[in-house]
Each structure stands twice: as structure tokens, then as C-alpha cells.
Amino acid sequence: MKLAKRMANLGTETAFEVLARAKALEAEGRDVIHLEIGEPDFDTPSNVVEAGARAMRSGFTHYTPSAGMPVLREAIALDVSRTRGIPVHADEVVVCPGAKPIMFFSVLALVDEGDEVVYPNPGFPIYESMIRFVGAKPVPVRLPEEKDFRLDVDGLIASLTPRTRLVILNSPQNPTGGVLETSDLDRIAKAVQGLPECWVLSDEIYRRILYAPGEHPSIAARAGMRERTIVLDGFSKSFAMTGWRLGYGVMPKDLAAHVSRLMTNSNSCTATFTQVAGVEALQGDQASVEKMVGEFSKRRDAIVKGLNSVKGFRCRTPLGAFYVFPNVTGTGKGSKPLQDLLLQEVGVACLAGTSFGANGEGYLRFSYANSLERIEAAVERMRKLLGAA
């Protein structure tokens, strides 16, 4: 088959490939413990499910404006204003089927061939995929383990050039659980403002899965940053709504009009009943979100302790999201061979650090979106295979 040349530059997300392999093993009768996929194992809160079902029965089954239903855009604007401490108007919000399209659309709308994009590596694989797809130059920034995977801010600032068109930030971070501090954001904001045409895409999808009290700070709230920041957020992680496909971007109104045009060209709009459910998620009872984060916190402690008891593993305690990123160099095995070995030999599905970029070599990512019992069983299996520390 002759494909268009640009397809050679398009990457992927290997979590879905590992999941498929794990499912194939299960079909052969093997017991696999799933610690590979990045989705909460909790049910969508029942008030949200009810709102979605009611919406379908009440006729919310037709197109909406491409940028989203006014009622949801307003609810998002209110929520973002409150949580980030910045005034946001509904016409600065674009609703999408999941938050992922905001990555694609931001890069398509702002980045030309030959431009540079600074992004975290290891990081969510779709960033690098999008950067390469449009023919831009990916400029990776490290996340040092010894600093609990806080992005290397000095490295980021040193990598900015007049060609830098976009800086991608993600905090709390996938795959490391690293969290940026207000002082980091202040420094990045100052440096970015020294460049006339540089934007920031701030991926805040794990904002509510934070193990310290208080709100996660946003770079959009730093002086002078509103007009050059796209805040990416959504419902997948906070409300266990991965399959509903509901996310959004908050950006200056002029850019929102162009991103809406990309929505018109691709999806037309986001599913209507999903949007109605999104209003309930934001405005209804928040107890289930708090309960979920409390549960994740217990699992985090258990998995960190467990992984540190496996020979050759060294694991920091992450500050946010629901992933751990142990250093596995002590096993003497590469990330990918170890990922394959764990799945094949003991039925533990996880991801090689290299699934998140070249700087992930020497690490594995485990998602702790699974029960405490299964997490403990996975640790036991790995200890049997690799030995106890």
C-alpha cells in the first residue's frame, strides 16, 4: 500500500499494543495483572452516568456547535476560573472528544515545518508524535529522578531558541508522577516571554490527582501568560470517564476560533449527551473524585514499597497522577526486554520507559489503577522472577 509520506512520521501509544498482547494471553487462559493502561479502574460516578442517560432519552442526540454546548463551555469557564484563579470566558473554551485532540489541534494550528517544540521526555508519547507529524523539530527536556522527576527547568530554559514555537508542560506528569512547583512555572513563564512567538501547551489532565493539599498551580495564571497559554484538561482521569471522550482546551478567543475550525473539519462536534454529562460532572457532587484520589494514595504507598522490595528496582514516591516510574537498571536488563519478560513469564503487564521517549530507558511505568490485592500479587510475582531486594 502506498501511504502518504507524512504517515512515516506519525508515532503511536504503545499502551494499547501491550494491552492487546495481554488480552491475547488472557484469551489463552493466562492470568494477567493489568498495570499498563492509564485509566482509572473506578466506575464513572453514578450521578454523571444518570445525567448522560437522561440526556439521551431527552433528545440530546444531535449536533452541537463545534466548540461545544454553551452550557458546558460556561461550566468549564467557571471551573477553570475558580481553580486556576484567572478570569475565563466561555468563548475561550473548545470542547473536544477527549483531551487528546487539543494536543493535535494546538500543534496543527501553531507549529510549522522546521519550528522547534520543547517537550518532556519521558513524556506522553503523543506529544513527540504530533511534533514529528507536522515536520517540526522535537526538543526533549529531561526529568531528573533525583529531583522526583520534576522537569529540568534549567535544561528547558537553555533549550529555548528564537525558533521555539511551543513549549509543552505536563504536571502532574505521565509517566513519572512528577509535579512542577510554582517557582518552576514562574521561571518558565519569564523565559518564554522573552520569545515573541512562543506558546505554552499546559497539559493539566492529572491536576486533581495530586497527593499534596491545595490546588495545582497553572502557568496560565502567571503574569502575561494568559495570552500565550493553552490549558488542556478533561474528564477522563478525574471522573473516570475515559470512554465517554470528553476534554477541552482553554485558550485566547482568537486561537479558540481556529481550533474550533479544526473541530468542524474533523469531528464536527463532541457527542451531545456526553457534554450534558460533563456539566453534571463539574457541578454535581465531588465526593467520588475525592474518594478515588484517597484510594490512589493508598495504592501508591503500597506499590512504591512493593517495587522497592524487588531486586534491581529503585522507586521514588510520585507526587501526582497514578503512575510509578521505577529505575530498573539494577536488573541488568533493558526496559523493553524487561517489559516483555514480565508479561510473558509472570503475567504482569507494564510499559517500558522507552514507550515515553528515549530518555525513558532504564525505567518501567506501572499504572496503579488496579486493586491493592492485584498490585500486591504483581509485586510478589516480580519478586519470584527477579529476586527480593
Please identify, using beta-carbon distances, which residue of 216 and 383 lies nearer to ligand PLP.
Answer: 216
232: nearest Cα among 335, 384, 100: 100
Minimal distance, residue 238 CB to ligand PLP, in Å: 10
Q: Counting contacts by CB under 6 A, is residue 242 touching ligand PLP?
A: yes
Q: How many C-beta atoms surround the C-beta of residue 143 within 10 A?
A: 25
Q: How many C-beta atoms surround the C-beta of residue 274 within 10 A?
A: 23
Q: Counting contacts by CB under 6 A, is residue 122 touching ligand PLP?
A: no
Please identify, using beta-carbon distances, which residue of 96 and 136 lies nearer to ligand PLP.
Answer: 96
Angle between helical axes of 100-110 and 253-266 (0-180°, round to 10): 110
Binding mask 219-238 for ligand PLP (x = CB under 6 A): ---------------x-x--
126 Cβ contact list (under 8 Å, min separation 6): 11, 13, 100, 103, 104
**Total length of the chain:** 389
228 Cβ contact list (under 8 Å, min separation 6): 192, 193, 198, 199, 200, 252
As given in the structure block, the three cell numbers for residue 270 are 463532541
Q: Counting contacts by CB under 6 A, is residue 247 touching ligand PLP?
A: yes
Q: Per CB under 6 A, which of residues 167..186 are in contact with ligand PLP?
A: 170, 174
In this structure, what are the phi and psi dihedrals at residue 218, rounded to the nearest 5 degrees? -115, 140
Q: Counting contacts by CB under 6 A, is residue 378 touching ligand PLP?
A: no
Q: Counting contacts by CB under 6 A, is residue 38 touching ligand PLP?
A: yes
Minimal distance, residue 102 CB to ligand PLP, in Å: 8
Binding mask 283-312 for ligand PLP (x = CB under 6 A): ------------------------------
Please identify, using beta-carbon distances, which residue of 95 and 379 lies nearer to ligand PLP.
Answer: 95
In the Cβ-directed half-sphere of 49, how many Cα atoms lie within 13 Å?
A: 9
Please identify, using beta-carbon distances, which residue of 66 and 367 lies nearer to ligand PLP.
Answer: 367
Please identify, using beta-carbon distances, which residue of 249 and 347 lies nearer to ligand PLP.
Answer: 249
Minimal distance, residue 330 CB to ligand PLP, in Å: 27
Please identify, using beta-carbon distances, which residue of 99 and 255 lies nearer to ligand PLP.
Answer: 99
CA-to-CA distance for 245 and 102, rounded, in angstroms?
12
Q: Counting contacts by CB under 6 A, is residue 124 touching ligand PLP?
A: yes
171 Cβ contact list (under 8 Å, min separation 6): 151, 178, 179, 180, 203, 204, 206, 216, 320
Minimal distance, residue 31 CB to ligand PLP, in Å: 25
Q: Per CB under 6 A, which of residues 191..220 are in contact with ligand PLP?
A: 203, 205
17 Cβ contact list (under 8 Å, min separation 6): none
- Closest residue by beta carbon to ligand PLP: 98
Under a CB-based contact definition with an 8 Å cutoff, are residues 64 and 275 in contact? yes
Minimal distance, residue 350 CB to ligand PLP, in Å: 15
Q: Counting contacts by CB under 6 A, is residue 357 touching ligand PLP?
A: no
Tell me which stretch binds ligand PLP (CB under 6 A): 78-86, 92-100, 297-305, 352-360: 92-100
DSSP state of 32: -
Minimal distance, residue 331 CB to ligand PLP, in Å: 26
CA-to-CA distance for 178 and 319, rounded, in angstroms?
6
Tell me which stretch binds ligand PLP (CB under 6 A): 79-87, 95-103, 188-196, 259-267: 95-103
Work out the angle at residue 174's Cα, subtended by the Cα atoms of residues 353 and 107, and round it to the nearest 5 degrees. 105
136: nearest Cα among 173, 157, 108, 159: 108
Minimal distance, residue 88 CB to ligand PLP, in Å: 19
Write out the residues near ligand PLP by the rule CB under 6 A.
38, 98-100, 124, 170, 174, 203, 205, 234, 236, 242, 247
